Amino acid sequence: MGLIKNKKYDLVFMDIQMPVMDGYEATTKIREWEQETSRETRIPIIAMTAHALAGYRKQCIKIGMDDYITKPLNRNDFIDMAQKWLPSTSTDNIGSSKSMPLTSDQSESPVDIYNLLAEMQGDTEIVVDLFDSFSNSLEQQKVTTRRAFDTQNNPLLEKEVHAIKGAALNVFAGDLARVAKELEEASKAEDTQISQNLFLRFEKSIDEAQAYMQNFVSTQT
């Protein structure tokens, strides 16, 4: 909310499952703020969700969002959605940033950068933005998931791990997505104690993915 109030945005892509405040609550607060401040223009808000069912779209629209896009994100779908909702002057440079040559030597990498860059058509600026956003979110999510694990709060752990899994799939962090899925399934069984070994694997996968993303960003800036 602080960013929305202090900076002008032409469009917001809102992840439904976020730590601290989910996308529904955040959208509600943005719409309330727009009414309270009598804003002349309404900020288009696009929901990002892993669910493709029609019922989820209706729920997103009802809460005050304008459209929705399913995860994992596809670059062309992302650009199409931006062009649909942004003023024409704002979309002139979308997809035109510098590209990186694609290589296929990705053995033992926490992130499949080859396929990620292929998905983004070699656009390193989009990849840097994705990595920055995910890496920053992981800082708080690591604290929250550790607290949930230590207190055996399985519903909270399931929610946070589900969000991490979806974001990991978006950036082709395959190992993190696989371990997160395993941990998510374990946390759904509330009567089952989650193994220390599984959670440590999860934390290790986060650290490895974060280190990779941060190193990539540093080489591009």
Give the model's confidence band at 99: pLDDT under 50 very low, under 70 low, under 90 confident, else very high. Answer: very low
Q: What is the pLDDT of residue 130?
A: 86
Return the CATH fold of 97-221. Answer: Four Helix Bundle (Hemerythrin (Met), subunit A) (1.20.120)
Q: How many CA atoms are closer than 13 Å to the CA of 114, on its beta-carbon side?
A: 7
For 151-174, write each residue's pLDDT tens digit: 989 888 988 898 898 889 888 999
| 3-class state of residue 22 by DSSP | coil
Enumerate the domain spans of the chain: 1-96, 97-221
How many CA atoms are closer than 13 Å to the CA of 160, on its beta-carbon side?
23
Q: What angle do CA 114, 69, 154 make, to 5 degrees?
A: 85
Nearest to 15, CA basis, from 151, 160, 126: 160
Consecutive H or E run containing 68: strand 67-70
Q: Give me the percent of the chain exceeding a pLDDT of 70.
A: 82
pLDDT at 210 over 50: yes
Which amino acid would we find at residue 214? Q
d(CA 134, CA 120): 16
Residue 34's contacts (CB-CB under 8 Å, 6 or more residues apart) are: 42, 43
Distance of CA 113 to the CA centre of its chain: 17
* Residue 81 phi, psi (nearest 5): -65, -40
> Which residue's structure tokens are 């992840």?
15
Domain 1-96 has CATH 3.90.1150.10: no
Structure confidence at residue 100 as a pLDDT band (50, 70, 90): very low
